[in-house]
Structure 1
């Protein structure tokens, strides 16, 4: 019988396959090694293939699309409800095969090689940023044990610590001074790595027409713009801007029942990194708007009604919708743009 739908449970070395025909009857239940995957699937007639969006999923999706198959990636949490029994590779592959055929299933866009390479820069940069912050906190904590308090902010480490190490009146042991100097050198090395990766990201941003277009939105710079373009890909996969905002976790979480609407705090679903960048950018805009006493912008109107944190999330939500409009409809950002529906 011809296979119409195939579910693949990805792994490092062993892959589990579960395929069904047009009547939903299982016709393939087998396990393949990594080196056997390509040879088996290239000879399989074109069909719908479902996989979880995990490690190497985008690589296999591009490869299988080259074989003529239709490939769909799904978030693992959306596949979990279809696992009928205890968790094992066979049950997971069967659940993936069933989930990919659901008409209301939401899928993950398949990323290109360029998108993955740009996101790799962001991932490594973020790792260096976290390591830099941890190193700065360690230096601050060690010095506090000797009664030397460094103000908050990573900039104070580079300015104040060398002076403390040179000061002979603070009674720091010589071995401890050498230790802190080693940590300070490591902090400078991490900072240099972060700046080098930021230079590479900005270089890609300037070469990308879409990324450069997004940088015109207040609160979105080269780092945020490049991450948005590389992660979203084709914005037309979303029906509207609100779906993008919800996908980033910038909408209220609901707990409604009996016709009574009960909205809670942010859902905080989706990409944490993108949501953080958008909210940090919104805080920057609010900081500058609050310094203008006679400002009558949309942000200032929100600030008159709500606190700065709520206004930052609202602006991040608005920017997410603007990003979708610019990417999906190939438009340029205009600060004075008024929707025709609103004008009517």
Structure 2
């Protein structure tokens, strides 16, 4: 059974790119973070997501590769054969029956194909494949376990490392095994040198920086990113503008006018953008001017446009941008958030009206 458990998170992203673009509805796509055995999985072009029926669907091609499995694709029968050693599984798109070592196993949900990729329902992974699954609905995170962890974890189920530390390791409450030093060592945004505070200080001295509040901030930031980085000139409308506006901290309705102007520009310039961002809760920086920056890893692709100008709703969007079409770019960025009240302000922190992907960032083409 254990072979079968490991053998499978395999269910199979196979061909090319699943995409989710913001629709006319005000509800943004719900992307899901996946952590397996304490390590966050970063899918290069297809994120786990929650569909309209509230099913969590996960792409697991890279887990399969890590486990040494061979994953195939039979276009005629729409079947996914998976082989590892003497273990074999055969899954057919749209079927509620899988074949495991020549035995049929029935289940009450099915794998689906989106944009040419196969996505596996989380329920299939947990009930049929036997992988231990936990769901954190506050942060939309799936925690997958194939073995007992011996190392120390952070409050979000991530493995903490104690070697090969970044040069500024003391700035953080801990250092994670699945984050490279380059993300830790990215320079901080402009700040007041006397009043700035790094995340190790924030977590240890200020009561608002607790998991309950941070989970709220992460959820708001993910919702913002799902709208902000997914636009389509064919479907974007005023519902999108109002949904984006609602994710941000506002003292008036003034910014809504500018968001609506961007919507019209998207239509005129035939802009299509796909992307997602993944905020890191242990990387929060207070700039001393009232802004909290949460560091994110992001990936973005500019599918369609006539002119390079203003492809995102972002006042720092580079004026000399030379982005190629249909090419993924990735990097790190600090996204600014602000609170509207003093005192117990934790629940009021929302995305700042001046938040930018390009204010303090790195970006490079995915090779």
TM-based fold match above 0.5: no
More strand by share: 2
Higher relative contact order (CA 8 A, sep 6+): 2
- TM band (smaller chain): under 0.3
TM-score when normalising by structure 2: 0.26
TM-score (norm 1): 0.27
